[in-house]
Structure 1
Amino acid sequence: MKPRSPKKTKSSIQPKTREKEDSLLPFQTMPLFFPLPPYSNPKTKSFFLILNILILLQCSSVQEKPKEVYHNNATTTETAVQSKIEKLQNSGIQSLSYMYLLGDGQMQFGKLGGDKKGPIQRFKIGSITKLFTGIALLQLQDKGKLKLDDPVSKYLPEIKEIQKTKPNLREITIRDILTHRSGLPSDLASGFFLSPEASDTDVLASFRALPKQLSRIERKEPNKAHSYSNFGFGLLGTVIERVSGLGIEDYFQKEIFSKAGMKHSTLLEFHEGSELVPGYQGIFWKSKTSRPLIRDLTAGSLSTTGEDMGLFMKSFFLSKKGKGLVSKESFAEFHRIQTGPSSNFQMKLGLPVLLQEMVGDGKKVWLSGHSGSLPPYFADLVYDPETETASFLAGNTLGLATATIMPTNKEIMDVIYEYKTGSVMEFPPLLERKNQNKLDGFEGLYVSPFGVHELKEGKTPQLGLFGFDFDLVERDNRFGTSLRLFFGLLPIKDKTLDSLRVEFETWEGEKIFTLYSTEASKGSWGFGVYFQPDNQLPDETYFTTYQTKDPYSLIPRVELKKEKLGFPVAIVTYSLGGMENAVTLPCKMESSKTLRILGYGRNLGEKIELKTVDGKPRMVYSGIEFLGN
Structure 2
Amino acid sequence: MIFHFSSKEYSKICFTFIVFLFFGCLSIPETAQKTLYGPEIEEILSGLVGSKSKSITFAFQDGLDIKESGFLGKETKPHRYKIGSVTKLFTTIAVLQLRDRGKLSLDDPLARYIPELKKIPKQNKNARDFTIRDVLKHQSGLPSDLSYEFFLDSASKYTDIQKARIRSLSILKDSQTAEPGQYTSYSNLGFGLLGILIERTSNLDIETYFQKNIFEVAGMEHSSLVDEAQSTALIDGYEGILFSSKVPKPIIRDLTAGSLSTTGADMQRFFAAFFRSKQNRNGLISANSFREMHRLQSPSPLDFSFQIGLTVMLDDFQSNGKSVKLAFHSGSLPPYAAHWLYDPESEISVFIAGNQFPAHIQDIPGSAEKIFKVLWKKRFGNEIHSVQDKKSLRKSIFRPGLYASSNGIIEVKEEGEKRELIFSGLPLQIEEKDGAFYLRLKAFFGLFDLTPKELESWIVEMEETSKETILTLQSSSLKKGVAGVGILNIAQTNQIDSKYLGTYRNLEAFPILTKVNLYFKDNQYCVIAVNYRLANWNSKVDYLCKVLDPETLLIEGKGRNLNEIIKLKEKDGKVILVHSGVNFEKD
The equivalent residue for 2:287 is: 328
Equivalent residue letter for 1:395: G
Q: d(CA) in 2 for partners of 1:167 and 1:251?
A: 36
> Does residue 340 of structure 1 match 2:340?
no
Secondary structure at 2:411 match in 1: strand
1:248 correspondence with 2:209? no
Instruction: Judge which range, 398-407 or 615-624, deviates more.
Output: 398-407
Q: Which of 225, 228, 248 is 1:290 aligned to?
A: 248
- The question of whether the paired residues in 1 share the 8 Å contact of 2:392 and 2:480 is answered with no
The 3 A distance-change label for structure 1 pair 58 and 112 is farther
The one of 365, 372, 382 aligned to 2:331: 372
Report if the CA contact (8 A) 1:57-1:496 is conserved. Answer: no
Pair 1:306 & 2:264 matched: yes
Instruction: For 2:19 and 2:125, locate their aligned partners in 1 and report how far apart those are by CA, in whole Å.
Output: 41
**Once the 2 structures are TM-superposed, how far is the Cα of residue 531 of structure 1 from its aligned partner?**
1.0
**What is the aligned counterpart of 1:110 among 41, 66, 70?**
70
Residues in 1 aligned to 2:122 and 2:16: alpha-carbon distance in whole angstroms: 35
* Structural mapping, 1:517-532, within 5 Å: 517-532=475-490
Deviations 1:328-356 (A, max 9, x none): 11111111100021111111101110001
**Are the structure 2 counterparts of residues 325 and 599 from structure 1 closer, same or farther at C-alpha, using a change threshold of 3 Å?**
same
- Does residue 81 of the first structure (1) align with residue 41 of the second (2)? yes
2:60 corresponds, among 88, 100, 105, to 100
Amino acid at match of 2:486: G
1:419–1:466 distance in 2 versus 1, CA, 3 Å: farther
Do the aligned partners of 1:536 and 1:567 also contact (CA within 8 Å) in 2?
no
Structure 2 residue aligned with 1:496: 454
1:35 aligns to 2:4 (yes or no): yes
Aligned AA for 2:476? Answer: T
Out of 98, 105, 128, the position equivalent to 1:140 is 98
Tell me which of 83, 86, 90 is aligned to 2:50.
90
Q: Between the two structures, name the one with larger relative contact order (CA 8 Å, sep ≥ 6).
A: 1
Matches of 2:51 and 2:461, distance apart in 1? 36
3-state SS, counterpart of residue 171 of structure 1:
coil
Quote the Cα distance in structure 1 between the aligned partners of 2:434 and 2:217.
50
Shift of 1:133: 0.7
Equivalent residue number for residue 452 of structure 1: 409
Whether 1:413 aligns to 2:369 is: no
| Aligned 8 A contact 1:34 1:52 in 2 | no
- Cα deviation for residue 124 of structure 1 reads 0.4
Contact 1:267–1:302, Cα closer than 8 Å, also in 2:
yes
What's the Cα RMSD here?
A: 2.1
- Structure-2 separation of matches of 1:426 and 1:91: 31
Please tell me whether residue 608 in structure 1 is matched to residue 566 in structure 2: yes
Residue type of the partner of 1:357? D
Instruction: Determine whether 1:185 maps to 2:146.
Output: no
What is the CA deviation profile of residues 572-611 of structure 1, one whole-angstrom value per residue up to 9, with x for unaligned ones?
Answer: 0111011111100111211111111111111111111111
Contact 2:305 2:480 (8 Å CA) reproduced: yes
- The 2-side partners of 1:434 and 1:372 are apart by 31
SS of the equivalent of 1:455 reads strand
Q: Which AA in structure 1 matches 2:411? A: E
Aligned to 2:537: 579
Structure 2 equivalent of residue 279 of structure 1: 237
User: In structure 1, what is the equivalent of residue 23 of structure 2?
Assistant: none
Taking the aligned partners of 1:244 and 1:76, their CA distance within structure 2 comes to 41
Change over 3 Å in CA distance of 1:246–1:75 after alignment to 2:
closer
Give CA-to-partner distance per residue, 1:154-180, whole Å, 9 cap, x none. 211111111111211101110000000
Q: Which amino acid aligns with 1:557?
A: K
Contact 2:332-2:338 at 8 Å conserved across structures? yes
Deviation at 1:399, TM superposition (A): 3.6
Residue 79 of structure 2 aligns to a residue whose secondary structure is: strand
Q: Tell me which residue corresponds to 1:69.
A: none
Higher mean displacement: 454-463 or 506-515: 454-463
Partner letter of residue 210 of structure 1?
A: S
CA distance in 2 between counterparts of 1:508 and 1:135 reads: 38
Give the equivalent residue in structure 1 for 2:128. 170
CA drift at 1:208: 3.3
Counterpart of 1:456, as a letter, is K
Residues 169 and 484 (structure 1), Cα distance of their counterparts in 2 relative to 1, 3 Å cut:
same
State the 1:490 CA deviation. 4.3
User: Aligned in 2, Cα 1:108/1:434: closer, same or farther, shift over 3 Å?
Assistant: closer
Amino acid at match of 2:410: H
Q: Which residue matches 2:427? A: 469
TM-score under structure 2 normalisation? Answer: 0.93
Per the alignment, residue 113 of structure 2 pairs with: 155
Aligned residues: 572
Would you say 1:398 and 2:357 are equivalent positions?
yes
Indicate the SS of the match to 2:513: coil
Match of 2:516 in 1: 558
The answer to whether 1:199 aligns with 2:162 is no
Verify: 1:388 aligned to 2:359, yes or no: no
SS across alignment from 2:302: helix
* 1: CA distance, partners of 2:392 / 2:185: 27
Q: 1:573 to 1:78 in 2, by over 3 A?
A: same
Q: 1:609 is paired with a residue of what secondary structure? A: strand
1:317 correspondence with 2:275: yes
SS in 1 for 2:80: strand
Q: Deviations over 1:179-217 (max 9, x none)?
A: 000000000101100011111211122123332333222
| Residue in 2 that maps onto 1:506 | 464
Dislocated runs of 4+, deviation >6 Å? none
| Equivalent AA in structure 2 for residue 137 of structure 1 | V
Q: 1:601 to 1:434 in 2, by over 3 A?
A: closer
Deviation for aligned residue 1:455: 1.6
Are the equivalent residues in 1 in contact too, given 2:393–2:435 (CA < 8 A)?
yes
What is the letter of the counterpart of residue 552 of structure 1? F
* 1:532 shift after superposition: 1.0
Contact 1:267–1:303 at 8 Å: present in 2 too? Answer: yes
Q: What is the rounded CA distance, in whole Å, between the counterparts of 1:75 and 1:157 in structure 2?
A: 52
User: Which range is displaced more, 520-529 or 564-573?
Assistant: 564-573
Write the distance in 2 (CA, Å) between the matches of 1:82 and 1:613.
Answer: 60
Distance of aligned partners of 1:408 and 1:466 in 2 relative to their CA distance in 1, 3 Å threshold: farther
- Once residues 272 and 58 of structure 1 are traced to their aligned partners in structure 2, the CA distance between those partners, rounded to angstroms, is 30
Residue 415 (structure 1) shift: 0.6
Q: Aligned equivalents of 2:443 and 2:255: distance in 1?
A: 43
Distance in 1 between the 2:482 and 2:427 partners? Answer: 22
- Secondary structure (helix, strand or coil) at the match of 1:219 reads coil
Conservation of the 8 A alpha-carbon contact between 1:58 and 1:403: no
Q: 1:354 aligns with which of 286, 308, 313?
A: 313
Q: 1:93 deviation in Å?
A: 5.5
Other-structure match for 1:46:
7
Q: 1:267 aligns with which of 225, 232, 238?
A: 225
Contact 2:294-2:309 at 8 Å conserved across structures? yes
1:463-497: per-residue Cα shift (whole Å, max 9, x none)?
A: 22342222222345422211114654542232220
Look up the equivalent residue of 1:325 and give its one-letter code: L
Instruction: Provide, for residues 96-124 of structure 1, a one-character-per-residue CA deviation record: whole Å limited to 9, x for no partner.
Output: 1111112114321111124326xx41100
Percent identity reads 40
The superposition leaves residues 360-379 of structure 1 with CA deviations (integer Å, 9 ceiling, x where unpaired) of 11111111110001111011
- Give secondary structure in 1 for the equivalent of 2:145: coil
Q: Identify the match of residue 188 of structure 2 among 230, 247, 258.
A: 230
Q: Distance in 1 between matches of 2:380 and 2:544?
A: 50
